[in-house]
Amino acid sequence: MAHRIAVIGGDGIGPEVTAEALKVVRAAGVAIETTDFDLGGQRYLRDGEILSDAVLEQLRHFDAILLGAVGTPDVPPGVIERGLLLKMRFELDLYVNQRPFVGVAPGKTAVHDFIVIRENTEGPYVGEGGVLRRGTPHEVATQGSTNTRMGVERCVRYAFELAMKRERKHVTLVHKTNVLTYSGDLWERTFNIVAKDFPQVKTAYNHVDAACIYFVEDPYRYDVIVTDNLFGDILTDLGGAVSGGIGLASSANLNPSRTGPSMFEPSHGSAPDIVGTGKANPTAAILSAALMLDFLGENAAAERVRSACEPAVTGTTVEIGNAIAARLASK
């Protein structure tokens, strides 16, 4: 039976790279049925639509969502992010963001291989806070961070379960417990409690500032990293930078409970300045589609796609997609 995939090409280069990702999935021999959804900054500019409850209800019935990129300079910051991306994360309970990083850091020769598990629905992204006396010399702004035991535990447990499937079996908690004493305490206590259920898994703790240094100087120390929403957002961009560039970084927004579809997207933005030039590298979108295949149970096809992306292909957007598809056809 074909997997039903909701496709949100989005803005800028999003539709271009998504088209190549779908081409490669089909070349891998996976049967898919796709439905396109017109969502993103350009749609918002046309009629004010971001993500209606009716469209959200339609999305719930798909096996997975493949997203290209959203955002346009003509839409104020935060409108699409909160109205589309965060709304999907919250409403579809995409509580795990998983980003793998395999590459050679600048100045290094050996390949590193680690995964960041980011809690995806809590922390500062909940939107708790407010402003008093806006626009005056006495303005006060607060931005809270909401962390629940349930939210932290299910994310941490997922990280340990993932580590059990990997050779090194190691999980590092990254936080800032010496300053964020309330949320940090919750994360650290929960991490230690869950660790007792996985005696085969070794553990470590890093403050987030130290982790930033280690990402650059010693990424080999990491296997699986688990962290909160904000720190994960920052660390995964840095992870992309030390693993070949953000243009190669794939991403999965997962609902491991499978009460709805999970969403897969490249980590890069919509890059409106290169739309139609053929300069957009679709590899991150293709690798995100491989993560989608993993989640759909098409593990063999996912491995074939990842293998076909190595060594890296150069050329135009379509040429790269064609070359990777051709490699799959020859295997």
Question: Hey, which residues are catalytic here?
Answer: 125, 176, 209, 233, 237
Q: Which has the closest alpha carbon to 221: 210, 232, 237?
A: 210
Cβ contact 222:165 at 8 Å: no
CA 277 to chain centre: 26
How are beta strands 129-132 and 3-10 bridged, if at all?
A: unpaired
Q: Which has the closest alpha carbon to 4: 29, 28, 36, 49?
A: 36
Cβ contact 231:208 at 8 Å: yes
Give strand pairing partners of 212: none
Render 28-77 in DSSP notation, one character per residue. Answer: TT--EEEEE---SHHHHHHHS-S--HHHHHHHTTSSEEEEEE---TTS-T
The H helix count followed by the E strand count for the chain is 12, 12
How many whole angstroms separate alpha carbon 129 and alpha carbon 146? Answer: 10
Amino acid at 63: D
Amino acid at 275: V
Render 130-148 in DSSP notation, one character per residue. Answer: EEESTTSTT-EEEE--B--
Cβ contact 248:284 at 8 Å: yes
DSSP state of 85: I
Question: Two tokens at 54?
Answer: 């009716």
How many whole angstroms separate alpha carbon 318 and alpha carbon 327? Answer: 14
DSSP state of 123: B
- Cβ neighbours for 211, distance < 8 A, ≥ 6 positions apart: 172, 174, 225, 235
DSSP state of 267: S
